[in-house]
Structure 1
């Protein structure tokens, strides 16, 4: 590791020193000496191999530009609505100060023919990049282009940020690209097809609602080159590796004003997962949107489908992925579009977990090994019809379907003081989800705009689980009959019907005062059936229903509400207090016995935003939230949760109630190459549903109660980025605190967890020299339970190198080192991973060739920790072995 870090540092020294730069500064004003913010300054060198340089003025009209010493430049200063000015400059080795006063030209569009386009154009909510001014020709995908745009970053997972704010929607030619997820776009759109990249802040799909609906969406719109329109373009990649490894990855695109077709395929057994849990959450609306309704977020995160997606580390993986998207214009004001995403994967996983159970009376440790073979299949499809007859009217209809069929076979080995056991597991989960949604917006008059949104959802889940062991399990909790082996089968069926509708009126009293009223209804109807039984070796069935198992449970929840929001502006500050009145009516029924309840709640909200200017803002949000239990939590009979857990719901549960508040500060500056994000979030639970656990060794019985002791969650995060010349320096940190009550074996204890994670990194953006990234992350975590503390530390060093050399070659390498410590238990483990590739393609050839190796050191596993209310775990997760690959790429 020391040699790698030393080598990277030597490269850093070598590439930073060659070119000497001088600073050119000044002020751009109009003829009345008023500063012009976002004026463009473009420096075009006369030397062919020198870089084009540019700058943008800040709110005071100041600019700063780094030019190479001893070079000749043609400087052009421009601002929309003003006559551009040019200046010929020969730099020496001293700083230069030069200011410009531009003359307003009201007839500019008719009288002046512009012979250049600024590389960056900045307006209030929009930044436009002309990508040809930043790329060098070696870029292969959109990811490579974005990393060279000032203020834009792409992380290892494919997430895009612009000046510190995350892109949450991707468009191509003004139309949503598949689901709008950035990962599919940045990893598949060819670099040579891109003409412009537009960053659209506060984006709203319905233009008339901008300024009415609060939107934090940052959309990225990709504009294609003219020669890529009405032509099929893309690429096909295929590769073979040692030990029968393979990859086939076609990307085909067609764009025209009337028709759009996108196709992405991926067939591989190299461990690459084309659709992950993060992609699924983004598909469902995005993490930030889902977290506004924590109940929906956690329901999705804990769903059976999500559990199959969450694992991204495997011993073996075969993945078949297809995504197709088509859009057709029916007329000048209506479009129909559809996409299908389908994935079929087979994975093998292995983990080893050391778990310390924290029961005060009899603390003990369990060692568990889990092996699973999982087959995952899903198809997601969506059909959309958009009708926009005018700016004042918009209609959209969506029809959505999701079909999943997942099965797994596993083997669990547990060693603990109470019993050493081995359990074979098998599960089969089938699911269908249908959703119809319509939204209609209309500007009624100059002061009133109305919206209607309605949806209907049908969901049918059919999970079946089988546990087989040669020893009795859950003794005293399930009524097992003595047999040679124990075969336990659980069948569940959950059917859900949900209908929602909301009508909203946006009343614009004047430019500084708005009044919004809304009325709506949410209705949910759930049916849960469960059956647990023992399949005896003689062919008979020992049904557990006589011991209180088995559910046939109906749950209905109807929420009618009315809301009032007042939005007003004072100076640079916008305020929006709101109050919502909800009337909840719910009923439960099991075995012909039921109960109906009613409750009314007032749920206030408040938000404010202070905009000092376009690049500096403070925002605050507060909300009182209510969340009702799921059908599983209410079902009154027993159910098996796992081979060591039995669960029983509580039909008397009511709603949870919790406060949530957030405060965020954002500041960025193109002029200084700088951005800063600071934020804090606080949640306080005042009424909640709490799990009560009876623990006997590793076996547990869980039930639910209403609990009114307060629990708190607090996070503080910050990120700062400063670019100096061709080097970007970044620091980000996150602090988390959580206190929660533990109800185990008739004891109530207040536990807490604290954690700090900080990362410092340096990244280069040279045009003609190797580029590198060095990042160091330090994690501290501290768990306190039963009065004892457990401390963890983790150190991670990440380095990467990318070198374009000899015109046609691209070399890439990365290395990650992890040092993991459980300081309390004295566990210390180190693991590392490295990957490298060499790509060759001549400038005018459609053919490209690549040799690559992943997991160079053949590392076997990763290590991590986790905790719950009564245990702390150290786990090893085994990963894919070393893989050698040779690939051929063909550009269409």
Structure 2
């Protein structure tokens, strides 16, 4: 850590020292109109005359003055732009003077006669209009065959993380569009990873309205950072794409293809991949869909009203109650991935259609060893687990969005999203339980588990939204209706043998040999109504009503294999739960001069009606009929302080119904030493949340700052009480408890060391959490203090060299009230660097290095993992359409999955065998569309 900080300090001092050395110069001047009045906020840039590459940029002050300090003594092309004026150019030829003052320079107003001149001179590397920053990719060169993601990393103010997520001007990019149209829904990575950089004419970054604001017509003061990729005219005619095939050592194979065909009204794109190199085509949303937990999280679901307390989201919970098969995840173990999809957009002034289909298949082999210690009131239990998992998941996703502007007053939106999935999961485990903190303590239990699951699932969400404007400006009505369904079934086999070792007594053995057939059906009908009435120019009244009716039906039949026709009546259950929800509320919004304040109150009622029997068709043994009425306040603040400075905050109360897997009075014994029991007496949990933040971005200097603080307090939070018997068998039951809370502060600051050449950013994070659980009847309070620090340095002096580096440190300090001697600190650190070099004869070199450390001195756990990847490639064929590449992954052969965590009364360390060193030889071919000249009508 000290060495890395020293490197950053030396880089900073080096640039600072260079800036102060003799021979530097200062350039200043003033931009005026024809009357001699200064033009404020004009974009001013210094370019290299030879190739118009950007050296530095800024904005004029309120009097139209600008200044560039400590510039290298060389020739420059000074270019300035201002909306409605002809771009201004001045050739700077310094001699011996220390300051060059070009004085007042009059800019010429734009008229039709000068339009052709604008077309010829308007192109500039970067332009700034308000909160919109527009880049010309031709000024930020990347190697042939690069993707849009590679291009974005070169742009000032942009950051691309290793997972592909994008940060612009200090904020996470929520939406990426192509020519203003959706591309594979709202997946921000689909376009940046699959479109070629050479297809992009402009990159535009701006603050867009939220989806809720667009649908309702009410400006709520919130915004979503949006990135739009404007295609070149040459790529709007004909098709373009890229195909890659690779073969490597240890039978490694990989292939990838994308093809795109765009015009003014239509967009069509196809992507596909297949590999056994752990290169996932599966996004986080796809992985969650396999579990059924984020099926319809598309943002525009028609749930009107202020945030918090809405409850009527659809999805959530593992409805099928599949047996324990362990968790997977990309880049762990050995994965074979196949994926493909198509996207089609049709866009006119009145009609917008967006459709996308995506298929993903993942086959994973994973072998792991895990050590876990649980702290009891006066003792501890340590588990050593060696397990293997064989998972196969297949997933089809189809999405359709239709929007029709019937006329200037009426708009209709139809949304349909569906998912079909199936797969198998096999889990084998050898677990040893010890009475104490280490394996040197007496052995208590030995358990062998062999579980298998075969499942199918189908889910669909359909929403219709109608909005009407009225003659009175600001008066709007919006109504939505939706029907959702989530159906799954699975056949699970459970095989386990458990030997309990008792001091002075013979060992006892418990064997589980069962089949579990579970069917789950969830349906939901919901609707929302929103009425907006402007009381004056500054005050708006928003009234809403939400309704939802949800039915959960689970039929779980467990058979002992000794008699396949006879139900195990202790474990089998038929459960039917119906929940209806009503919420009515109103809020008053004040909006004036960038200040947007809203305060509101709603009353909501949740009615839960549940009943269960041993088997479907039998009399119900117990029923649940409960109503819960709550008042939910809400407050939000969004203040546009101008000059790209924003203050935001708010408070809301969120009420959530317990998950169906926690409500069902079912005993889940898939792990016979860790038994789960449902609790039908659970009540809805309440979360009070508040936050306050500030965001600033200076488009002239590209300095950015982001601050945010939050606090959560929980009432009737669902926790899992633990009871550990003399054989160390743990039984957990969901229960409600109040008193848990979280508090956190996050800060991020970034600035260019040398504009367009190097950037430095720093982020710090602090969080404290107090979480409760009962262990053998005693209340345990787990207090966790988390600290993290991150540094990032980007150095891009030219298209021949780029260097990106990161350093992140985190400390998790955990304290337990029931056993203070077990308090511990988990320390993780990660250092990474990537370098790209252009060599002679169109040869390129790329290297990436990651060094991770994992430390827990309490358990003498100290692991480090250096990972080095290198590749060398050359462009070939006509127009550089081909590329041949030789890559080496994990040169040191050190890759392995490592994870450590501490929560509630647990602490664990896990290591996973995963794909390590291999070599790959690949060939890529770029398919390019028609090349022709089209006269453009764009302004600077």
TM beyond 0.5 = yes
Does the Cα contact within 8 Å between 1:486 and 1:535 map onto a contact in 2?
no
Residue 17 of structure 1 and its aligned partner are, at CA, apart by: 9.8
Q: Which residue of 2 aligns with 1:311?
A: 329
Structure 2 residues not aligned, in runs of 5+: 289-293, 434-442, 503-507, 614-619, 928-940
Q: Which residue of 2 aligns with 1:468?
A: 495
- In structure 2, the CA distance between the partners of 1:408 and 1:294, relative to structure 1 (3 Å rule), is farther
Residue 828 (str. 1) matches residue 862 (str. 2):
yes
Does the Cα contact within 8 Å between 2:309 and 2:653 map onto a contact in 1?
no
Q: Which residue of 1 aligns with 2:400?
A: 383
Q: Which moved more, 1:384-393 or 1:738-747?
A: 384-393
Instruction: Please give the alpha-carbon distance, in whole angstroms, between the structure 2 residues aligned to 1:755 and 1:202.
Output: 33
Q: Which residue of 1 aligns with 2:722?
A: 693
How many equivalent residue pairs? 880
Residue 269 of structure 1 and its aligned partner are, at CA, apart by: 0.5
Does the Cα contact within 8 Å between 2:577 and 2:611 map onto a contact in 1?
yes
1:318-365 residue CA offsets vs partner (Å, 9 max, x unmatched): 111101112345x75224332111011211112211111101233131
Residue 24 (str. 1) matches residue 42 (str. 2):
no
- In structure 2, the CA distance between the partners of 1:278 and 1:856, relative to structure 1 (3 Å rule), is farther
Q: Which residue of 2 aligns with 1:143?
A: 149
Q: Which residue of 2 aligns with 1:257?
A: 264
* Secondary structure of 1:561 counterpart: strand
Residue 746 of structure 1 and its aligned partner are, at CA, apart by: 1.1
Residue 285 of structure 1 and its aligned partner are, at CA, apart by: 3.6
* Secondary structure of 1:319 counterpart: strand
Q: Which moved more, 1:590-599 or 1:662-671?
A: 590-599
Instruction: Please give the alpha-carbon distance, in whole angstroms, between the structure 1 residues aligned to 2:657 and 2:75.
Output: 69
Instruction: Please give the alpha-carbon distance, in whole angstroms, between the structure 1 residues aligned to 2:777 and 2:547.
Output: 40
Does the Cα contact within 8 Å between 1:351 and 1:876 map onto a contact in 2?
yes
Q: How does 1:85-124 map to 2 (within 5 A)?
A: 85-92=88-95, 94-98=98-102, 100=104, 105=109, 107=111, 113-114=117-118, 115-124=121-130
Does the Cα contact within 8 Å between 1:372 and 1:409 map onto a contact in 2?
yes
Q: Which moved more, 1:724-733 or 1:802-811?
A: 802-811
User: Which of 864, 872, 875 is the equivalent residue of 2:899?
Assistant: 864
Q: Which residue of 2 aligns with 1:759?
A: 790
Residue 659 of structure 1 and its aligned partner are, at CA, apart by: 0.4
- In structure 2, the CA distance between the partners of 1:764 and 1:309, relative to structure 1 (3 Å rule), is farther
1:275-302 residue CA offsets vs partner (Å, 9 max, x unmatched): 1325666985479999968979996486
* Secondary structure of 1:613 counterpart: coil
Q: How does 1:413-452 map to 2 (within 5 A)?
A: 413-416=430-433, 417-445=443-471, 446-452=473-479
* Secondary structure of 1:179 counterpart: coil
User: Which of 330, 342, 349 is the equivalent residue of 1:324?
Assistant: 342
Instruction: Please give the alpha-carbon distance, in whole angstroms, between the structure 2 residues aligned to 1:711 and 1:818.
Output: 32
Instruction: Please give the alpha-carbon distance, in whole angstroms, between the structure 2 residues aligned to 1:824 and 1:465.
Output: 39
Residue 337 (str. 1) matches residue 354 (str. 2):
yes
1:540-590 residue CA offsets vs partner (Å, 9 max, x unmatched): 466431x3x222111111111112111113555321111112122221122
Q: Which moved more, 1:446-455 or 1:230-239?
A: 446-455
Q: Which moved more, 1:576-585 or 1:112-121?
A: 112-121
- In structure 2, the CA distance between the partners of 1:800 and 1:269, relative to structure 1 (3 Å rule), is same
Q: How does 1:399-418 map to 2 (within 5 A)?
A: 399-416=416-433, 417-418=443-444
1:474-506 residue CA offsets vs partner (Å, 9 max, x unmatched): 99xxxxx989x6422222222111122111122
* Secondary structure of 1:82 counterpart: coil
User: Which of 368, 373, 380 is the equivalent residue of 1:356?
Assistant: 373
Instruction: Please give the alpha-carbon distance, in whole angstroms, between the structure 1 residues aligned to 2:873 and 2:605.
Output: 63
Q: Which moved more, 1:350-359 or 1:36-45?
A: 36-45
Q: Which residue of 1 aligns with 2:617?
A: none
Instruction: Please give the alpha-carbon distance, in whole angstroms, between the structure 2 residues aligned to 1:714 and 1:825.
Output: 28
Q: Which residue of 2 aligns with 1:553?
A: 575
Residue 632 (str. 1) matches residue 661 (str. 2):
yes
1:345-395 residue CA offsets vs partner (Å, 9 max, x unmatched): 211112211111101233131111121111111111112222124454321
- In structure 2, the CA distance between the partners of 1:742 and 1:204, relative to structure 1 (3 Å rule), is closer
- In structure 2, the CA distance between the partners of 1:455 and 1:541, relative to structure 1 (3 Å rule), is same
Instruction: Please give the alpha-carbon distance, in whole angstroms, between the structure 1 residues aligned to 2:51 and 2:353.
Output: 47
Instruction: Please give the alpha-carbon distance, in whole angstroms, between the structure 2 residues aligned to 1:296 and 1:812.
Output: 49
Instruction: Please give the alpha-carbon distance, in whole angstroms, between the structure 1 residues aligned to 2:890 and 2:177.
Output: 34
Q: Which residue of 1 aligns with 2:925?
A: 890
1:374-431 residue CA offsets vs partner (Å, 9 max, x unmatched): 1111111112222124454321112221011121112111111321222112112211
Residue 60 of structure 1 and its aligned partner are, at CA, apart by: 7.2
Does the Cα contact within 8 Å between 1:197 and 1:222 map onto a contact in 2?
yes
Does the Cα contact within 8 Å between 1:270 and 1:883 map onto a contact in 2?
no
Does the Cα contact within 8 Å between 2:513 and 2:561 map onto a contact in 1?
yes
Instruction: Please give the alpha-carbon distance, in whole angstroms, between the structure 2 residues aligned to 1:825 and 1:209.
Output: 55
Residue 184 (str. 1) matches residue 224 (str. 2):
no
TM-score w.r.t. the length of structure 1 is: 0.91
Q: Which residue of 2 aligns with 1:478?
A: none
Residue 11 of structure 1 and its aligned partner are, at CA, apart by: 11
Does the Cα contact within 8 Å between 1:684 and 1:712 map onto a contact in 2?
yes
Residue 212 (str. 1) matches residue 219 (str. 2):
yes
Residue 267 (str. 1) matches residue 274 (str. 2):
yes
* Secondary structure of 2:378 counterpart: coil
Q: Which residue of 2 aligns with 1:230?
A: 237
Q: Which moved more, 1:86-95 or 1:724-733?
A: 86-95
User: Which of 778, 802, 820 is the equivalent residue of 1:771?
Assistant: 802
Does the Cα contact within 8 Å between 2:445 and 2:500 map onto a contact in 1?
no
Q: Which residue of 2 aligns with 1:373?
A: 390
Q: How does 1:721-732 map to 2 (within 5 A)?
A: 721-725=750-754, 726-732=757-763
Residue 79 (str. 1) matches residue 82 (str. 2):
yes
- In structure 2, the CA distance between the partners of 1:365 and 1:79, relative to structure 1 (3 Å rule), is same
Does the Cα contact within 8 Å between 1:276 and 1:309 map onto a contact in 2?
no
* Secondary structure of 1:156 counterpart: coil
Residue 747 (str. 1) matches residue 778 (str. 2):
yes
Instruction: Please give the alpha-carbon distance, in whole angstroms, between the structure 1 residues aligned to 2:15 and 2:871.
Output: 22
Residue 666 (str. 1) matches residue 695 (str. 2):
yes
Does the Cα contact within 8 Å between 2:316 and 2:659 map onto a contact in 1?
no
Between the two structures, name the one with larger relative contact order (CA 8 Å, sep ≥ 6): 2
Instruction: Please give the alpha-carbon distance, in whole angstroms, between the structure 1 residues aligned to 2:339 and 2:574.
Output: 38
- In structure 2, the CA distance between the partners of 1:210 and 1:26, relative to structure 1 (3 Å rule), is farther
1:513-549 residue CA offsets vs partner (Å, 9 max, x unmatched): 211111121221111222333323xx5466431x3x2
Does the Cα contact within 8 Å between 2:843 and 2:874 map onto a contact in 1?
yes
Does the Cα contact within 8 Å between 1:63 and 1:671 map onto a contact in 2?
no
User: Which of 164, 167, 177 is the equivalent residue of 1:171?
Assistant: 177
Residue 454 (str. 1) matches residue 481 (str. 2):
yes
Instruction: Please give the alpha-carbon distance, in whole angstroms, between the structure 1 residues aligned to 2:299 and 2:401.
Output: 22
**CA RMSD in angstroms, aligned pairs only:** 3.5
Q: Which residue of 2 aligns with 1:608?
A: 637
Instruction: Please give the alpha-carbon distance, in whole angstroms, between the structure 2 residues aligned to 1:884 and 1:782.
Output: 40
Does the Cα contact within 8 Å between 1:52 and 1:133 map onto a contact in 2?
no
User: Which of 713, 718, 735 is the equivalent residue of 1:705?
Assistant: 735
- In structure 2, the CA distance between the partners of 1:275 and 1:162, relative to structure 1 (3 Å rule), is same
Residue 51 of structure 1 and its aligned partner are, at CA, apart by: 4.7
User: Which of 736, 741, 744 is the equivalent residue of 2:767?
Assistant: 736
Instruction: Please give the alpha-carbon distance, in whole angstroms, between the structure 2 residues aligned to 1:409 and 1:144.
Output: 39
Does the Cα contact within 8 Å between 2:643 and 2:698 map onto a contact in 1?
no
Instruction: Please give the alpha-carbon distance, in whole angstroms, between the structure 2 residues aligned to 1:45 and 1:229.
Output: 31
- In structure 2, the CA distance between the partners of 1:511 and 1:190, relative to structure 1 (3 Å rule), is same
Instruction: Please give the alpha-carbon distance, in whole angstroms, between the structure 1 residues aligned to 2:187 and 2:868.
Output: 28
Does the Cα contact within 8 Å between 2:546 and 2:582 map onto a contact in 1?
yes
Q: Which moved more, 1:810-819 or 1:332-341?
A: 332-341
Q: Which moved more, 1:644-653 or 1:102-111?
A: 102-111
- In structure 2, the CA distance between the partners of 1:287 and 1:506, relative to structure 1 (3 Å rule), is closer
Does the Cα contact within 8 Å between 1:810 and 1:838 map onto a contact in 2?
yes
Instruction: Please give the alpha-carbon distance, in whole angstroms, between the structure 1 residues aligned to 2:16 and 2:143.
Output: 22
* Secondary structure of 2:379 counterpart: coil
- In structure 2, the CA distance between the partners of 1:125 and 1:729, relative to structure 1 (3 Å rule), is closer
TM-score w.r.t. the length of structure 2 is: 0.87
Instruction: Please give the alpha-carbon distance, in whole angstroms, between the structure 2 residues aligned to 1:244 and 1:220.
Output: 39
Residue 448 of structure 1 and its aligned partner are, at CA, apart by: 0.5
Q: Which residue of 2 aligns with 1:651?
A: 680
